[in-house]
Amino acid sequence: MSGQSRLAWLLTLGEEERTLMLGTLSEAEREELKHHWELWARPEQLPPQADWRIWLICAGRGFGKTRAGAEWIRSVARRDPDARIALVGASLSETRAVMVEGESGIIACCTPRFRPVFEPSLRKLTFPNGATATMFSAAEPESLRGPQHSHAWCDEIAKWETAGNRADKAWDNLMLGLRLGEKPSVLATTTPRAVPLMQRIANGSAGGRTVMVTGRSRENAANLPSRFLRDIEAALGGSALGRQELGGELLTDLEGALWTRALLEKCRGKPAALSRIVVGVDPPASSNGDACGIIVAGLGQDGHARVLADCSVTRPSPERWARAVAGAAAIWNADRVIAEANQGGAMVESVLRAAEVNLPIRLVHASRGKVARAEPVAALYEAGRVFHVGVFPELEDEMCALDIGGEYHGPGRSPDRADALVWALTELMLGARGRPRVWAQ
């Protein structure tokens, strides 16, 4: 039996028989075996059996999405010499670093006999049989206007640039040019985020028959460092961000929410020169479960606010939350602490002073409901005047759980972090209008 025949036969065996037979292979056969993706792939990493134009793999970090994409491109190129493939990433640098030259990228997945020639200056890979793949950046939608393709692999579509609807324009231009060959098709691989393009593809309104595959990070545990899973599950487990980044869930928004996840994604921003920095504090009523919301925010010289840090602490004693406030103020060189005083203004100030908070403290008293005080701040987000410098999972979970009807839908009993955010942004952005009366618990 030839080497190729033995490998083909091995693919037909069950797991136990296959394990026994692996020991009978020669060194050359074992090397060849590394490139037989059908042996190693999980079913979710292989093309669906159903008829599809769009194959969406929406899964957690470390699931094996990149490997699935690279292997699909390799198989397309191998069987179709006329294949003209588009490789689209968030940027050209990411397309090259991850999709082409990455550890699980196209070049690493190809056998030496079928390894493509990569010409970076032309953004092009040419396979030995004549099939080609060209790199594109989703941040440059017009570059996809005109070129025609038979296949496409789009990576991390949920992080494509949303400003100016670039992500949607890039996708639409790609789909309009996907008209070569008998069965033009596109694979989109991504960790989900509630951005408009992601939702369009998931609900089947993005240009063709869609098959969506979901998966969790833990499904690929055999190929991930155990410390990675342990640490990231400890950090994110139980939060909405954990369900998204590890569980691969496309989170839907609460009907009537003041903030939506799509809105928050649009409000991601970069650091900027700041003219003021404040620490908003929502002190706990007790140490029996409530968190102390501690949010650091700054006012940029461009007139826009930046949310800089979530330093909140859970189930703290008065001394512990006060020291956390003092630490946040010192680290960020804040010029003022804004603290709700409904739970006892003199007590709140004395606790903060005991923790050596030496900067000015403004005590604010709630006189309206949570929604009434949060609505003007939510409007600032809608107007594009507030940016989150980073991702703050617990804070953002709370923000998206406040609805216009005045209800809070969890997590926890109270939106402590969101309250602290509102205090800080009211001080920075709403001026005197927001200072005298802030909002009731």
The yes-or-no verdict on residue 2 having pLDDT over 60 is: no
pLDDT digits over 42-76, tens only? 888 999 988 899 999 999 888 999 999 999 999 99
* Domain CATH for 379: 3.30.420.280
Going by C-alpha positions, the residue among 281, 348, 285, 292 that lies closest to residue 320 is 292
77 plus 160 within the same structural domain: yes
Q: For 364-398, how does the pLDDT look when each residue is reduced to its tens digit (9 = 90+)?
A: 877 666 667 889 999 999 999 999 998 898 899 88
Residue 252, domain member (yes or no) = no
Per residue in 245-288, pLDDT tens?
A: 787 777 767 777 899 888 888 898 889 999 999 999 998 876 56
Last residue within a domain, chosen from 216, 234, 252: 234
pLDDT at res. 346: 57
- Mean pLDDT over 80-98 rounds to 97
Residue 209 has pLDDT above 80, yes or no: yes
Same domain, 50 and 199: yes
> What H or E segment, with its residue span, contains residue 308?
strand 305-310
Query: Nearest to residue 251, comparing CAs of 326, 259, 226?
Result: 259
Helix (H, G, I), strand (E, B) or coil at 8: helix
What are the start-end ranges of the H helices in 190-310?
Answer: 196-202, 226-236, 240-245, 261-266
User: Which amino acid makes up residue 156?
Assistant: E
- Name the token pair of 421: 């955010």
Q: What is the reported pTM?
A: 0.62
* Burial class of 12 by CB neighbour count within 10 A (0 to 12, 13 to 18, 19+): exposed
Is 59 inside a domain boundary?
A: yes
Contact status, residue 413 vs residue 401, Cβ threshold 8 Å: no
Whether residue 82 sits in one domain with residue 28: no
φ/ψ of 19, rounded to 5, equals -60, -40
Shared domain for 283 and 269, answered yes or no, is yes
Residue 433 pLDDT: 42
Together in a domain, 292 and 337: yes
Provide the mean pLDDT of the chain: 85
Flag whether 242 is in a domain.
no
Rounded-to-5 percentages of helix, strand, coil across the chain? 40, 20, 35
User: Comparing 54-68, 97-111, 227-241, 329-343, which segment has the lowest mean pLDDT?
Assistant: 227-241
Check pLDDT > 90 for residue 8: no
- Pair (43, 166) in one structural domain: yes
Residues 47 and 195 occupy one common structural domain: yes
Confirm if 255 and 407 have CB atoms less than 8 A apart.
no
pLDDT over 70 (residue 241): no
* Statement: residue 441 has pLDDT above 60: no
Tell me, yes or no, whether 224 lies in a domain.
yes
- Please check whether residue 214 lies inside any domain of the structure: yes
In a domain, 250, yes or no: no
Query: Which pair of tokens denotes residue 337?
Result: 């602490």
Domain assignment present for 96: yes
Q: Can you give the pLDDT at residue 287?
A: 57
Distance CA 45, CA 71 (A): 9
Structural domain boundaries, residue 105: 36-234
Question: What is d(CA 361, CA 309) in angstroms, rounded to the nearest whole number?
Answer: 19
CB 191 within 8 A of CB 244: yes
What's phi and psi for 133, nearest 5 deg? -135, 135
User: CATH number of the domain that 94 lies in?
Assistant: 3.40.50.300
Q: Which residues pair with 402 in a beta bridge?
A: 408
Looking at the fold, whether 223 and 308 belong to one and the same domain comes out as no
Q: Rounded distance, CA 307 to CA 380, Å? A: 13
Q: Is 209 in the same domain as 339?
A: no
Residue 56's pLDDT is 95
Verify that 90 and 42 share a domain, yes or no. yes
Same domain, residue pair 298 and 433: yes
Is 301 exposed, middle or buried, given 0-12, 13-18 or 19+ CB atoms closer than 10 A? Answer: exposed
% of the chain exceeding 90 in pLDDT: 47
Amino acid at 394: E
Same domain, 14 and 69: no
- Tell me the mean pLDDT in the region 171-177: 96
Structural domains of the chain, count:
3
How far is residue 277 CA from its own chain's centroid? 27
Residue 17's alpha-carbon distances to 3, 33, 366, in angstroms, are 18, 16, 70
- Other beta carbons within 10 angstroms of residue 20's beta carbon come to 9
Q: Residue 241 domain-assigned?
A: no
> Which of these ranges, 41-55, 125-139, 174-188, has the smallest mean pLDDT?
41-55
Q: What is the mean pLDDT of residues 192-197?
A: 81
